[in-house]
Amino acid sequence: MVIDKDEVVIRFSGDSGDGMQLTGTLFSNTSALFGHDISTFPDYPAEIRAPQGTVGGVSGFQVHIGHKLVNTPGDFADVLVAMNPAAIRANAHGLRKGSTIIYDSDNFTEKHIQRAGYISDPFTEDKLDSMHLIAAPITSLVREALKGMDIDPKTALRTKNMFALGMVYWLFDSKLKYTEDFIEEKFGKKPVMAEANSIVLRAGYYYAETIEALTPSYRVSPAPIANGTYRNINGNQATAWGLLAAAEKANLRLFIGSYPITPATGILEELAMRKDLGVKSLQAEDEIAGICSAIGASFTGRLAVTSTSGPGLALKSEALNLAVMTELPLVVVDVQRGGPSTGLPTKTEQSDLWQALYGRNGESPVVVMAAGTPSDCFMYAFEAAKIAVEHMTPVLLLTDSYLANGSEPWKIPAMKDLPSIKVPLAVKTEKEYLPYERDPETLARKWAVPGTPGLEHRIGGLEKTIKGSVSYTPENHEYMVRMREEKVERIVSEVPDLEVTGKDSGDLLVIGWGSTYGHIYTAVSELQEEGYKISSAQFNYIRPLPKNTDEVFAGFEKLLVCELNSGQFANYLRMKHQKYTYHQYNKIQGLPFTIKEIKEYCIKLLEGK
């Protein structure tokens, strides 16, 4: 018996060594290739080697697949694969009523149960008795499936995730081919491992087929999506590829100078692999060296990038000031995570906004942008590079851990459809070369590549005159400060108008920025269907704000700002648009919002509670 469903949420969970990230990735790739719309949420433990079997060491991967548009990884799971009791403890609150729990019964020993914080029975103690519980002796069945193979017991048990994946494939009427192809490619030089993983994958599939407990299975039809070539992509990949596309459009060589840091390292890794596209990458010895090398590359005429997360951005701030003062194009990507200090290095947060806007000494304006979805990272990385080059200014692009590691289907654009990038290169003329002479419209100075005769000039952190000579004149300093500020503000002419999802007026406008897009959009859409006079607006351009911001705000009785921090964007709006009252809904748990909690808060606000 097969039951058709519009959407399903599956969560894979276990110890960090149980391969849950790979399992979730393979399932999501299979779903994407089948034609589902998907959204994923990898949830890594904050410690590299947390004690085995503890809640702190649980690694999870949530996949939301749908026949219709999917904007979030889902609030509650319909299916949980739990490799140990700690996985139950970590996910009990996130299960839908009547969910299916597939668990490795071999790991539910007294020792593991108590290590997870239970007394005797996880399902009773967390009131999960009403769930559809599938006890599968996965560890024992894997040993049996690989009996007689030339493989040691410890290595054999590393294939347990494939057994669980096979069971889930059967449950959702999925094909094994895509994963078998992956196994063959990954272990091409280790045929024994390839065979072992394939055997265990099929063993899990056929085990699910033979036990009555997993009847019925479910089927989610492909989503009706526009024609085109798609691939599953995460935010870090999309960011890297957006920068590559910008370099090609600008006919510039791309340089990235970065220091590895969670969760931004994937951008450096992705670009380091693209020597075939002319990318020069430097894994620097620290964050300061990373940004300084990028500034040096920008001086020589490269499209220069540095990537980091919050702690690294703090270290880069002095050098970012240098890029502001020298008026060189630079893209700084900040993949935000929980802080302060080391904080929650694998968890998501939007708490770097004020640092991005104001975390430098002196009057130091930079453009600040934020991507909203994993695939959005491509276009906003492209736009960040375009603005940086055309306006000769640093641009700070904010993503976060949720976007960086989450994935979704992305329609691959044609290069001819991407906007052109005009590079303001300086050329030798009969006139005297003035390094800080500005374009009358954009106020951008020209980009003089070193070694070009007649374009020699001084550059550095000291204040300059229009001729590039060092100046301590008070009036000149104020003039240059105002010019740099005005240059950034004039970019508003290229910022798209703020769009409203829903009607242009009503009782409540829900405001978000960056990665809160999917949860806010879905929550507001559901409330609109329930009859509430509510709309939403999502900001991707933070500095400068869209020019119609005031016009949009004026149409609503109440304004609610939802963000994953203590209220940084709400306070920024209070500075920029002071005549409005802003309500706040904030979450600082290292987790994205849920649709349910946004809806509940909106209803309370609408009903005056």
- Distance, in Å, from the CA atom of 489 to the CA atom of 479, rounded to the nearest integer, reads 15
- Residue found by looking up tokens 């430097």 in the block: 282
Tell me the average pLDDT across 46-54.
81
- Distance, in Å, from the CA atom of 257 to the CA atom of 316, rounded to the nearest integer, reads 12
Question: Is the pLDDT reported for residue 35 higher than 90?
Answer: no
pLDDT digits (tens, 9 = 90+) for 95-141: 999 899 999 999 999 999 999 999 999 999 999 988 999 999 999 99
Spatial CB neighbours of 554, under 8 Å, sequence gap ≥ 6: none
Question: Is the pLDDT reported for residue 217 higher than 80?
Answer: no
Spatial CB neighbours of 47, under 8 Å, sequence gap ≥ 6: 56, 57
Residues 436/466, Cβ–Cβ less than 8 Å: yes
DSSP letter (8 states) at residue 533: -
Q: Residue 34: name the closest of 167, 250, 178 by CA.
A: 178
Provide the Cα torsion 205, 211, 212, 215; round to 10°.
Answer: -10
Mean pLDDT of the chain: 95
More confident residue, 213 or 100: 100
pLDDT digits (tens, 9 = 90+) for 174-188: 889 999 999 999 998
Instruction: Read off φ and ψ for residue 156, nearest 5 degrees.
Output: -60, -40
Question: Is the pLDDT reported for residue 49 higher than 90?
Answer: no
pLDDT bracket for residue 214 (50, 70, 90): low
Q: Residue 64: name the closest of 529, 539, 522, 513 by CA.
A: 522
Question: Is the pLDDT reported for residue 376 higher than 80?
Answer: yes
- Distance, in Å, from the CA atom of 422 to the CA atom of 441, rounded to the nearest integer, reads 14
Domains of the chain in sequence order: 2-219 (3.40.920.10), 231-417 (3.40.50.970), 500-606 (3.40.50.920)
- Distance, in Å, from the CA atom of 494 to the CA atom of 252, rounded to the nearest integer, reads 22
Residue 215 pLDDT? 63
How many other C-beta atoms are found inside a 10 Å radius of the C-beta of residue 583? 16
Cis peptide before 216 (omega within 30 of 0): yes
What is the number of alpha carbons within 13 Å of residue 322 lying toward its C-beta? 16
- Distance, in Å, from the CA atom of 247 to the CA atom of 241, rounded to the nearest integer, reads 10
- Distance, in Å, from the CA atom of 87 to the CA atom of 13, rounded to the nearest integer, reads 5
Share of the chain above pLDDT 90, in %: 87
Tell me the average pLDDT across 388-403.
98
pLDDT digits (tens, 9 = 90+) for 347-370: 999 999 999 999 999 999 999 999
DSSP letter (8 states) at residue 417: G
3-state secondary structure of 4: strand
Q: Which phi-psi region, left, alpha or beta, contains residue 425 (left: φ > 0; alpha: ψ -120 to 50)? A: beta
Share of the chain above pLDDT 70, in %: 99
Q: Residue 374: name the closest of 233, 539, 518, 270 by CA.
A: 233
pLDDT bracket for residue 2 (50, 70, 90): confident
Tell me the average pLDDT across 464-478.
95
Give 340-344 contacts, CB < 8 A, sequence gap 24+.
Answer: 340/310, 341/311, 342/311, 343/310, 343/311, 344/46, 344/590
Tell me the average pLDDT across 284-294.
98
- Distance, in Å, from the CA atom of 187 to the CA atom of 346, rounded to the nearest integer, reads 28
